[in-house]
Amino acid sequence: MSKPLILVSNDDGITSQGIKVLVNEMKKLGEVIVVAPDSPQSGMGHAITIGNTLRLTETDIFEGVKAYKCSGTPADCVKLAKFHVLKDRRPDLVVSGINHGSNTSISVLYSGTMSAAVEGAIEGLPSIGFSLCDYAADADFSHTCEPVQKIAKQVLEKGMPKGIALNVNIPPKQNDNLKGIKVCRQAHAKWQEEFDQRFDPNGRRYFWLAGNFVNFDKGEDNDEWAIANNYVSVVPCQYDLTAHHAISALNEWDL
């Protein structure tokens, strides 16, 4: 039987540490094709390029793996992979990451990593976004290999419902081993932003986004709780943002 075809992308850029780890793990499971941004695209969400040119350049950055760097966003990368690079070939799995930093809770909306995975789901492809909850410059990715491969292998073997992308977050490496993997819901939490006003050497004002992450959720079935307790969190996400529970209330309006 032919090997599964696995498309790899990310938002930290094709030279990032996380994508190297992800490519190495996916090579153990199938044939890997990489299409990833040529520069960091963190926080781009599901942006796509419509007013500028897109450039796609083949690179030999990963030994034995066909790879392309793209001038666009993570969503652009998956679109170009699906409709140009792979053409008539259909990936068995789309994986994105491993992101350098958390994508739990509300961060999933801003995440380029998850948007690449969601773009795969839009195309009806089983898709996973992987993130390491460690922002340190020298973050250790070594402990991510086992859960990444385990979850990807399960998806390849068992499939997933159409239109679903898994948001997988892995705790930072600690002295004790990971306790396991938990299927969770997204925590009720948000960023409380602040804009730091500054001035450049010419006296021109600019702003720098800052703020703190605030978790309002006291439950033990969400991704924030899982990470805090040294579990890998797995949250199934969908791109249908309809608030179905609100439809009946709106139907009572005089419209």
Domain with 136, as residue range(s), is: 5-187+221-250
Note the pLDDT of residue 1.
Answer: 61
Note the pLDDT of residue 88.
Answer: 87
CB 207 within 8 A of CB 231: no
Q: What is the pTM of this model?
A: 0.94
Distance between CA atoms of residues 158 and 177, nearest Å: 27
Note the pLDDT of residue 191.
Answer: 86
Q: Is residue 202 part of a domain?
A: no
Q: Is residue 199 part of a domain?
A: no
pLDDT tens digits along 113-143: 999 999 999 999 999 999 999 999 999 999 9
CB 208 within 8 A of CB 195: yes
What is the average pLDDT across 4-27? 97
**What's 160's domain CATH number?**
3.40.1210.10
Note the pLDDT of residue 56.
Answer: 97
In the structure, what pLDDT confidence band is assigned to residue 148 with cuts at 50, 70 and 90?
Answer: very high
pLDDT tens digits along 163-213: 999 999 999 998 678 999 999 999 999 888 889 999 999 999 999 988 888
Distance between CA atoms of residues 67 and 74, nearest Å: 14
pLDDT tens digits along 71-109: 999 999 999 999 999 988 999 999 999 999 999 999 999
| Distance, C-alpha 159 to centroid of its chain | 19
Note the pLDDT of residue 10.
Answer: 98
User: How would DSSP label each residue in 181-239?
Assistant: EEE-BPPSEEEEEEEEEEE-TTS-EEEEEEEEEEE----SSBHHHHHHTTEEEEEEEES
Question: Structural domain tally of the chain?
Answer: 1
Reply yes or no on whether the pLDDT at 253 is more than 90.
Answer: yes
Q: What residues pair up with 213 in beta bridges, in sequence order?
A: 191
Q: Is residue 197 part of a domain?
A: no
